[in-house]
Structure 1
Amino acid sequence: MELFNRRTALRGALAVAATPFVAGVASADVGALAFVQKWAPNPGSVGLKAFVGIEDDRSNSHPSATHIFAESDQYRFVMHKSDRDGSDRQRQEVRAIQTGSTRHDMKKGETWRYNYQMYIPSSLKGTTSFTHIFQVKHTGVASPVVTMSLFRSGSTETVEMRLFGAGQAKLGSTPLAPLRNKWIDVEIEIKVADGSGSLRFALKDGATTVVNASRSNFDTWLGGTQAHPKWGIYRSLGDSAQLQDTYLLLRNMKAYRNE
């Protein structure tokens, strides 16, 4: 009985250590989901080896420039107006995560949590077409599972999730302007499953939680053998008036798996 209690206490401690920052989530609610940290790269020492794939100017449209950097304590994604990834879009992204030679992919039925901080400058605009800054993808499947994107409707810009397995339904839309030019906290928790998948999306500006949105029982498994995250800037050329030379910064990146 004593050994059982110690194991129970340890499992509870792991769950509390990974407790979401979102207000209103009691530790009892998280106790059934013990998240174990699988990935926490140091950009200064690991560099871009934290990622399986580096999609820096895949079409060689701007060969004189480097667009994706590992700096001392952050990752920088640079996008120029002239950059191209095909005739109608731009892409500077990293794909999938690893520690050394060990990949950390999402398998069917698993629940993963991604925590990081993000800095969006004034030059990175929301657009009427797609401007993605996070995706979950399956290898060999064209459609993303979910995307975090910057959108524009009239003069209003927003950050929001789109759920492609639920007809591109929006989740957690919030104004972009108050979140610019500062570090904001991001938490994405996703269960990848056929029909019974779920997603929770949270944003925190300092001590204020500005988004805490979730949806369950939709399709987050679109095919293949694994899913993986992507970060960076992937945008259409369709809303050309909003496109500028710009960048995106990420730091304190961590990934946890429910075990």
Structure 2
Amino acid sequence: MPSLIRHRVRRQILFEHHYCAGFERHNVPSTLRFRTMLRLSYAAMEQVVAVSRAQRNWLHAAHLISASRSRVLLSSRTVDDFLALPPPSPAEGRPLTLLAYGRFTPQKGFDRLLRAMRLLPGGGLRLLLVGDGPQKGNLEALASADPRVELLGARKDIPTLLAQVDAVVIPSRWEPWGNVCLEARAAGRPVIVSGIDGLPEQVVASADGSVSAPPDPCGLVVQGESDTALATALENLLSSTDQQRSAWSAAGRDSARSAWSDYTTAWSQLLDELS
């Protein structure tokens, strides 16, 4: 509290890239206490910047911050290395190679992905799982009986890996935005994402940042949090045509092409307004 009071005498901007509806649903035993703490923190800020529309909507619905003191700046990073990759080649009868990467924690939902893979026996899919973290042993055990799954450990050469795969799976349990999805879009890789927080709006985001309706998405959104729902999305990807995946690839890349410049421009505008 003393720290918050000291902050109140300055003009502070909070970039809220952590808390969201999914985080609250999976981690918070006392919603009243949690939201009270956030309201006190946000009250010390001139502006609270949300990284996705879904996160902003949750902030408003939970009455954590007023609309006049909040802003959406769709999160980004530089994606030139990803934009330079060639699009995926046609499958031509070979198994589709999927990539999932990130920290091995419950948030990322890789346990769900491995269980969903088990619900789809056969050789149509191959999965590369990249990362490290406290769930490593559990994930290794889940993957041990499935020869289609390869755990590669922690890697830094993500563009190189993306060049080798057909699609990216993001089975997170919560994700205010999701830079993995942004990277996959820029790489022209179709995505399968959980229908939570900021991920769905990335799948249907058009190049100008507005939300479009199908048929111009860049992949599939999992409806529901069950293993079966994720397996259904994997099955739908498996049954998609080369033409459909090519369309998803092009739409994703188009939607990510100006992400970094749009992000820096939006920050400049906000800082000019507050100066």
Larger Rg: 2
Do both share a fold (TM > 0.5)? no
The structure richer in strand per residue is 1
State the TM-score, normalizing by the size of structure 2.
Answer: 0.30
The structure richer in helix per residue is 2
Report which structure shows greater RCO (CA 8 Å, sep ≥6). Answer: 1
